[in-house]
Chains A and B, each alone.
Chain A
């Protein structure tokens, strides 16, 4: 009989403790951010999709060494190049040299897992993470980024 009543009273007490905690929380300020009206700044190391970096001439730093494409676990980077021949004067002689030129840098963001292997593999510091996170679309094709075009758009 004593256990019966003590259980009732202890139970009621524990419920009252719980109620007092939620009552205190009721008057504390809200901690959320009303998202579409207010956004948070992404931190410096935020890993968005990759973006090409330009050199001082406004052209991509990328030398098309294909290390990023080879290192990517999901195979979402595809680089197209063309070979250009040009002549340079070396020690008074004219020599023809070949040079790889980047003609297209496509990122299929639908399969990218944002691991950063491409950026670590890049010896030339030619790619970086963007800070973009508001990416939404109803079409898959919208996530096939042409990074070369994006770079041009940023410059213009």
Chain B
């Protein structure tokens, strides 16, 4: 067997394992975090609820996958897979440290965004395929939301790519090595608006991963459960895991683009531990935000993107381009 293929297989297996384990235990973390915020313990039977995720998994897998009458069977079955698969594939190109990376690509950033936009396809197909009015409304919402938030996200990424001159995630992270002052979140002469960019990117990744306060596609108090109303069993499980995998990717991307990847804030002992620490801190803030704020409206969400995020990120792009020419 060719060594590169073997490499790829191993990488994908590790990526699947990492994504699945993350998804399972992030559910636990989310539930326990929500519990603490609401001053209740959360799942705490058997050693802090350590067995909760595997038992949940067993429960989901042993249930019957009910396909509603009149549903488009093919789309209905494809959608959950489409939600999970791109998320796992994206892990392949994410560098956890300068040595731990499955496949370092020149166009890593582009690849992740390409796969991330497949996520909205999954929601669209799920909503359309399950033949439920609530689901269709949710999927329509999701698509408009994803389009609106990919634009400021990509503009922000363009700004950073312009500054560093590379689309390789590994090189992007390496360009920030050497302490907190080199990180992209800290404003520099050529890019004074970088903290704002970070905020925009953070908000967009909340919206892209369908997290509260932007969880319009599964607004449970209006659309029951949105696009996965009709899903049970592992179909629902895959959507759920896909969502958490997307969160991990979003947090990793923020870490690489803005927070110096695996670099230490003081420039000491860079390594995978710093990367994971930053990623899980970001995920904690995702959880924290979800359990604090109410949901936005459809038009509020679109207004935020088109009237605030896009103009500001465009302005930042132009400003950075101009300043890069000056300095």
Contacts and interface: CB of A to CB of B under 8 A. Distances in A.
Q: Are A and B close enough to touch in the complex, i.e. CB under 8 Å?
A: yes
Interface of A: 8, 15, 18-19, 21-23, 25-32, 34
Interface string B3-45: 0000000000000000000000000000001011111110010
A32 B41 contact: yes
A28 B38 CA distance: 9
Contact of B288 (A22, A27, A34): A22
B147 interface: no
Nearest to B41: A30
Contacts, number: 36
24 contacts: A18-B293, A19-B288, A19-B289, A19-B292, A22-B288, A22-B291, A22-B292, A23-B288, A25-B37, A25-B38, A26-B33, A26-B36, A26-B37, A27-B36, A30-B35, A30-B36, A30-B39, A30-B41, A31-B40, A32-B39, A32-B40, A32-B41, A34-B41, A34-B44
A21 B292 CA distance: 9
Contacts of B35: 30
Interface residues of B, number: 15
B100 interface: no
A8 B311 CA distance: 13
Interface string B254-291: 00000000000000000000000000000000001101
Contacts of B37: 22, 25-26
Interface string B133-147: 000000000000000
Contacts of A23: 288
Contacts of A18: 292-293
Contact of A28 (B33, B39, B288, B291): B39
A95 B134 CA distance: 82
Given A15-B293, A18-B292, A29 B41 contact: no
B308 interface: yes
Nearest to A24: B37
